[in-house]
């Protein structure tokens, strides 16, 4: 595949520390690949512990001044940043389409549009932080936690960054960002905007690098008061251990295996169509993806048929072709991981409805065909583990209690959905799900609603006022 829109390789040679671009102390580099073409499209420096040290020192030095600003002054900085970043929306979508493979049309809406919406929400929230309270003879005030280490994943590479940096800055914290090594390029666009917006030096700093070196150095750094992480549960566990040595605050947004419950009285065609779309968004590389479709047994065969047809209709290919709905997976490694799960699912007794390992995919690029597995045992591997690819497991249930039991039969609890013609029934079931978010009958995404997980899906909440509160300490002053 050779897209006409493919840009010249992007070489970024520096980190952004203390308000300027600085050279790395080491010489290692990370190659960035376009997963649709398998070509190297850029290189960024691989930061060392010494680079992280410099960035943390800059963030520490900037903290007192930034924390002392009036909320409206911080809001004005974020507003300028939002304006500068908005001017780059096209470039952001294009960059993420190249480094991650999200189809350009979808990248414009989700990879560029969503972070701009979230940043805008924090322009408003920064100006009106939580009110001080009086509790008896105490004055209860909130103060920024301090220096935040932000470690982010590759699946929504700018959104995941903004969902940490914007509320942290709004709260009065300063930040060192270590973006994902598979998709580091879009972060440079954010820091170009930071420069143009004239944010005070050191308020937000960038060190690119690998997880085990730069990421671990940041998580373990004594100058970092809080680590905010999004990614796999396994890495979340390691980061928690590193932070535990100095009792640093940790917030974690981790994996998911969310259930989409479809009752017999639901608009079946609508529920299945939206459900498949949700499961396959970003080629299934979405932590909130509804990867388990639970259907009432009386409509089960019909739903499996609809899901198979919907999935089979997804057009795979060049992210720059406007007809493409599914791009490649992020890397060769991710493709192998996903293929392994499909194989395992079939070996454990699931029935292949569409897709699978033999379905045709483009020769070049890390593609997996959209795959629907039916009759999936709720205890089997593909019903329990996060696959992070375009693979949907369909499971029948007998009644409301059974649906809730299957949905809650997971170590995860990040998202979910319920569909029923009876809204009260759907909301009642939503309340019984041990998960951080539930969409009822296609309820719209709300960027101000708290976002985060129960169980092994994480600790803490992002977005909206709850997301800002994560970055605040509470102090009681007795008079």
Q: Which residue is nearest to ligand NAI (CB)?
A: 211
- Which residue lies nearer to Mg ion by CB, 334 or 354? 334
The reply on whether position 99 binds Mg ion by CB under 5 A is yes
The reply on whether position 460 binds ligand NAI by CB under 6 A is no
- State the pairing for strand pair 20-22/29-34: unpaired
Contact string 344-373 vs ligand NAI (x = CB under 6 A): ------------------------------
- Which residue lies nearer to Mg ion by CB, 182 or 274? 182
User: In the numeric block, which tokens belong to residue 428?
Assistant: 């009642």
* Pairwise CA distance, residues 99 & 118, whole Å: 22
State which of residues 12, 22, 24, 33 lies at the interface with Mg ion (CB under 5 A): 33
Q: Which does residue 217 bind out of ligand NAI, Mg ion, none, counting CB within 5 to 8 angstroms by kind? A: none
Residue 287 catalytic?
yes
Q: What are all long-range contacts of 263-266, with beta carbons under 8 Å and residues at least 24 apart?
A: 263/296, 263/400, 263/403, 263/418, 263/419, 263/420, 263/421, 263/422, 263/425, 263/426, 264/296, 264/298, 264/299, 265/420, 265/421, 265/422, 265/425, 266/299, 266/419, 266/420, 266/421, 266/441
Q: How far is the CB of 52 from ligand NAI (least distance, A)?
A: 11
Residue 253 catalytic?
yes
Q: Which does residue 33 bind out of Mg ion, ligand NAI, none, counting CB within 5 to 8 angstroms by kind? A: Mg ion
The reply on whether position 86 binds ligand NAI by CB under 6 A is no
State which of residues 24, 47, 255, 370 lies at the interface with ligand NAI (CB under 6 A): 255
Q: How far is the CB of 254 from ligand NAI (least distance, A)?
A: 5
Computed over its alpha carbons, how large is the radius of gyration of the chain? 22
Judged by CB under 6 A, which stretch of 16-24, 129-137, 139-147, 213-221 contacts ligand NAI?
Answer: 213-221
Q: Which does residue 99 bind out of ligand NAI, Mg ion, none, counting CB within 5 to 8 angstroms by kind? A: Mg ion
The reply on whether position 59 binds ligand NAI by CB under 6 A is no
> Residues with Cβ < 8 Å from 124, sequence gap 6 or more?
75
State which of residues 216, 268, 391, 433 lies at the interface with ligand NAI (CB under 6 A): 216
User: In the numeric block, which tokens belong to residue 296?
Assistant: 């009432």
Estimate to the nearest angstrom the gap between the alpha carbon of 208 and the chain centroid.
18
Q: Which does residue 470 bind out of Mg ion, ligand NAI, none, counting CB within 5 to 8 angstroms by kind? A: none
From residue 32, give the alpha-carbon distance in Å to each of 102, 141, 224.
15, 45, 28
* Pairwise CA distance, residues 288 & 261, whole Å: 14
Residues labelled catalytic: 253, 287
């Amino acid at each position: 595949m050779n897209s006409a829109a493919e840009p010249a390789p992007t070489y970024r040679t520096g980190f952004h520390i203390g308000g300027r671009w600085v050279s790395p102390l080491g010489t290692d580099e990370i190659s960035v690949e376009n997963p649709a073409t398998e070509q190297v499209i850029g290189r960024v420096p691989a930061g060392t512990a010494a680079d992280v040290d410099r960035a943390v020192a800059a963030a520490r030095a900037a903290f007192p001044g930034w924390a002392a600003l009036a909320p409206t002054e911080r809001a004005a900085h974020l507003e300028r940043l939002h304006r500068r970043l908005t001017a780059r929306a096209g470039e952001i979508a294009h960059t993420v389409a190249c480094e991650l493979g999200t189809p350009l049309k979808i990248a414009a809406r989700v990879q560029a549009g969503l972070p701009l919406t979230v940043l805008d929400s924090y322009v408003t929230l920064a100006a009106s932080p939580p009110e001080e309270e009086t509790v008896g003879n105490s004055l209860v005030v909130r103060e920024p936690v301090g220096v935040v280490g932000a470690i982010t994943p590759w699946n929504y590479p700018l959104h995941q960054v903004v969902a940490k940096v914007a509320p942290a800055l709004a709260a009065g914290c300063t930040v060192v960002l270590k973006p994902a090594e598979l998709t580091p390029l879009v972060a440079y666009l954010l820091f170009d905007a930071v420069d143009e917006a004239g944010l005070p030096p050191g308020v937000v700093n960038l060190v690119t690098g690998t997880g085990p070196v730069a990421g671990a150095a940041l998580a373990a750094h004594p100058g970092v008061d809080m680590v905010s992480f999004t990614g796999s549960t396994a890495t979340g566990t390691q980061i928690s251990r590193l932070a535990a040595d100095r009792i640093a605050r940790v917030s974690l947004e981790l994996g998911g295996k969310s259930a989409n419950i479809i009752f017999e009285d639901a608009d079946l065609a609508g529920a299945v169509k939206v459900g498949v779309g949700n499961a396959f968004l970003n080629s299934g590389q979405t932590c909130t993806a509804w990867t388990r479709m639970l259907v009432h047994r009386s409509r089960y065969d019909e739903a499996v048929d609809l899901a198979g047809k919907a999935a089979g209709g997804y057009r795979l290919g060049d992210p720059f072709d406007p007809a493409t709905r599914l791009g490649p997976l992020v890397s060769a490694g991710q493709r192998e991981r996903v293929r392994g799960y499909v194989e395992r699912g079939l070996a454990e007794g699931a029935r292949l409805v569409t897709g699978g390992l033999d379905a045709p995919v483009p020769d070049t690029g890390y593609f997996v065909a959209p795959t629907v597995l039916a009759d999936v045992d709720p205890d089997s591997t593909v019903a329990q583990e996060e696959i992070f690819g375009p693979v949907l497991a369909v499971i029948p249930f007998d009644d409301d209690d059974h649906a809730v039991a299957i949905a809650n039969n997971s170590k995860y609890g990040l998202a979910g959905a319920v569909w029923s013609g009876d809204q009260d029934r759907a909301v009642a079931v939503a309340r019984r799900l041990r998960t951080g978010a539930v969409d009822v009958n296609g309820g719209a995404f709300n960027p101000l609603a708290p976002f985060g997980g129960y169980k092994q899906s994480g600790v803490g909440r992002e977005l909206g006022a709850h997301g800002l509160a994560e970055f605040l300490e509470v102090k009681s002053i007795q008079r």
